[in-house]
Amino acid sequence: MTLHSPSLLDAAAGTPVLVGFSGGLDSTVLLHLLAHAPDRREAGLRAVHVHHGLQAGADDWAAHCQRICDEWQVPLHIIHVQVGDDTGLGPEAAARHARHAAFAELLQTGEWLALAHHRDDQAETFLLRALRGSGSDGLAAMRERRAFAAGQLWRPLLHVPRAALEVHARLHRLHWIEDPSNTRDAFDRNFLRNTVMPLLAGRWPDAAAMFARSAVLAGEASGLLHVHDAQALHACDGGDGTLSVTALRALPPPACARVLRLWVQQRGLPPLPGNGVARIRHDLLDAAHDRQAEFRWQQARIVRWRDCLHAIGELPHWPAGWQARWDGHAPLPLPDGGRLELHGAPAFDTPLQVRQREGGERIRLPGRGHSHLLKHCLQDAGVAPWLRPHLPLLCDAAQVLAAGDRIVSATLHGWLRERAAHLRWHAPAPAN
């Protein structure tokens, strides 16, 4: 496929497009193609420039992008972002993460984000993934189109060599920015681009095309595997988003690994680290049935409980000693982001104290003549161990009346039943 192919931009016909516009050669050519394509403006076309502030000339780059967009009559959004140096991702990945977050926030429902990655970029990505020991999913490198935020991420130039972009740019006398950081071989991608790829091309002229072709084949294989992964994940479903330990252990190790990664992705957790699957298999799947084993990484963890794996995000902590008086008239926000509500009654007869568990509390359940340790009641009720510290206790002086809406004392149960009322506890959401 070349820049003169009439089908290059057909995929987005009639679809509004947001172009990621850095001002460099690649994105300049892409924006030029879209801005001068028939009927493109009627469908909706705009551009976004992410101002990282990492280069001395960043303000000049933004001004250059604005001039180009004004000349081509394309609305431009300039977004300033902060690239953190404490993410542990490295400078390239941190900047990319900040950039994609800005894109996701701006992208409208049904709109496509067009990025100018080309065939040479694809070859470099394939090599970088191979050097990191990636499997077929990673070697598939970049996809021409995939779901992204409220719309789609689209790379229409992914099969076009960079040389063709240069020819187009010079033919149409386009002006673009040369990023000085592209010459720094300290960055892995730059080292591949400036040193390794020219060396390979000297011996194998079609090296970039062949690497890109391998990425396509890996993508096809990955797509077939994903179908099998979804079926295996369904077979391992333990209910409520959990995985059955018994079913996982019955899978061959490679299939188990893929199911675990897919499950973690679907639960919205960070990707598992390189040793994640091995640790889960050894520490969780092979753990004793009565042991609450867990694996932690970043702000997430997987816990084995009751023969199932549970994927859990990090829950906010309560401040030490926090307590409040609550009359039930209005919902009570809790310090971890949870919430308590009283439904069916205007308020309690007298305000109750709300606090966190301290340990050793006892509660008398309906129909029982004596009190029980709250700890044992929570276990019998099947309240997950990681949620127990977040259950707010409702107390009247030293008497525990309820633990959220999971355990309710005989006294409060009778009061609620007389009024056809009930408590509702909304559990906290995991922190971002």
Q: How does pLDDT run across 258-311, given as a tens digit for each residue?
A: 999 999 988 888 888 888 999 999 999 887 766 678 899 888 889 998 889 998
Domains 10-209 and 236-313 share a fold: no
Q: Read off the pLDDT of each residue in 147-159 and give the average, rounded to a whole number.
A: 91
Q: How many CB atoms lie within 10 A of CB 158?
A: 22
What angle in degrees, to the nearest 10, is found between the helix axes of 25-35 and 58-72? 20
* Bridge partners (DSSP) listed for residue 403: 393, 407
User: What's the CA gap between 29 and 167, in Å, rounded?
Assistant: 10
23 assigned to a ligand binding site: yes
Q: Is the pLDDT of residue 35 over 60?
A: yes
Q: How does pLDDT run across 218-268, given as a tens digit for each residue?
A: 988 988 988 999 999 999 998 888 999 999 999 999 999 999 999 998 888
Q: How does pLDDT run across 354-410, given as a tens digit for each residue?
A: 999 888 999 999 988 889 999 999 989 888 888 888 999 999 988 999 999 999 999
Could you tell me the residue ranges of all domains in the chain? 10-209, 236-313, 323-426
26 assigned to a ligand binding site: yes
136 assigned to a ligand binding site: no
At 393 the pLDDT is: 94
Amino acid (1-letter code) at residue 179: D
31 assigned to a ligand binding site: no
10-209 under CATH 3.40.50.300, yes or no: no
At 53 the pLDDT is: 65
At 18 the pLDDT is: 94
Q: Is the pLDDT of residue 26 over 90?
A: yes
User: What's the CA gap between 116 and 25, in Å, rounded?
Assistant: 9
Q: 236-313, what's its fold?
A: Chorismate Mutase Domain, subunit A (1.20.59)
**Would the pTM count as exceeding 0.75?**
no
pLDDT band at 1; cut points 50, 70, 90? very low
Strand locations in 183-282 (E): 237-239, 242-244
25 assigned to a ligand binding site: yes
Q: How does pLDDT run across 55-85, given as a tens digit for each residue?
A: 767 888 899 999 999 999 999 999 988 776 6
Task: Express as a percent the part of the chain with pLDDT over 70.
Answer: 94
- From residue 396, alpha-carbon distances to 353, 376, 403 in Å are 6, 21, 13
Cβ atoms of residues 65 and 76 within 8 Å: yes
324 Cβ partners below 8 Å, 6+ apart? 332, 353, 354, 355
At 312 the pLDDT is: 85
Q: Is the pLDDT of residue 87 over 60?
A: no
Task: Give the sheet arrangement for strand 145-148, strand by strand.
Answer: 76-80, 45-51, 17-20, 112-114, 151-154, 145-148
